[in-house]
Amino acid sequence: MAKVISSLRRRSLASWLFVFLCYLLAVVLFGTVVRATHSGAGCGNHWPLCKGEWIPDGSSLKTWIEYTHRVTSGLTLPIALFLYLRARRIFSVYHPCRKALIGVLLFLVSEALLGAGIVWLEHVADNRSSGRGFTMSLHLVNTFLLMACAVWSWLSAREWNGRTVEIRGMLPILGAMGILFVGVSGAITALGDTLFPPLSTGEVFSLAQDATSHLFLRLRVYHPFFALCLTGYLVLLTWHIAEKDPTRTKLYINFGILLGVQILAGYFNIHLLAPLWMQVVHLGLAQCVWMSYVGIFLYRSCFFVEPTA
SS3 50: strand
Residue 173: pLDDT band with limits 50, 70, 90:
confident
Between 167 and 68, where is the model more confident? 68
pLDDT at 122 over 90: no
Whether residues 208 and 309 fall in one domain: yes
SS3 45: coil
Whether residues 1 and 145 fall in one domain: yes
CA distance 146 to 8: 27
Asked which of 2-6, 40-44, 245-249 is least confident by mean pLDDT, the reply is 2-6
45 with 33: CB under 8 angstroms? no
SS3 262: helix
pLDDT in tens, 35-52: 888 888 888 888 888 888
Whether residues 134 and 178 fall in one domain: no
pLDDT at 227 over 90: yes
In the prediction, which pLDDT does 5 show?
Answer: 58
Mean pLDDT, the chain, rounded, equals 87
Between 61 and 81, where is the model more confident? 81
Asked which of 93-107, 134-148, 157-171 is least confident by mean pLDDT, the reply is 157-171
Question: 22, exposed or middle or buried, with CB in 10 Å at 0-12, 13-18, 19+?
Answer: exposed
pLDDT at 306 over 50: no
Is the whole model's pTM more than 0.85, yes or no? yes
Mean pLDDT of 154-172: 69
Whether residues 176 and 225 fall in one domain: yes
Query: Cis (ω within 30 of 0) for the bond into 48?
Result: yes
In the prediction, which pLDDT does 176 show?
Answer: 94
Between 200 and 76, where is the model more confident? 76
Number of domains composing the chain = 2
Torsion sign (Cα): 109, 177, 181, 282: negative
Whether residues 101 and 196 fall in one domain: no
In the prediction, which pLDDT does 112 show?
Answer: 94
Expressed in angstroms, the distance from the first to the final Cα of the chain is 23
82 with 23: CB under 8 angstroms? no
Whether residues 128 and 203 fall in one domain: no
Its domain, for residue 305, covers 162-309
In the prediction, which pLDDT does 1 show?
Answer: 57
Q: Of 105, 136, 154, which residue constitutes the final position of a domain?
A: 154
Residue 25: pLDDT band with limits 50, 70, 90:
very high
CA angle 157, 158, 162 (to 5 degrees): 65
- Helices marked H in the chain — which ranges? 2-36, 61-74, 76-90, 96-120, 130-159, 171-195, 201-208, 215-219, 222-244, 249-271, 276-293
CA distance 231 to 95: 33
Whether residues 177 and 129 fall in one domain: no
In Å, how far are 19, 159, 278, 281, 284 from 32, measured between CA atoms? 21, 33, 11, 10, 10
Query: Whose CA is closest to 117, among 43, 36, 45?
Result: 45
Asked which of 49-58, 84-93, 139-148, 273-282 is least confident by mean pLDDT, the reply is 49-58
Whether residues 57 and 109 fall in one domain: yes
Mean pLDDT of 97-105: 94
**Got the DSSP string for 187-207?**
HHHHHHHHHS--S-HHHHHHH
Between 11 and 169, where is the model more confident? 11
In the prediction, which pLDDT does 305 show?
Answer: 41
Query: Whose CA is closest to 79, among 35, 27, 155?
Result: 27
Q: Of 154, 177, 192, which residue constitutes the final position of a domain?
A: 154
Residue 256: pLDDT band with limits 50, 70, 90:
very high
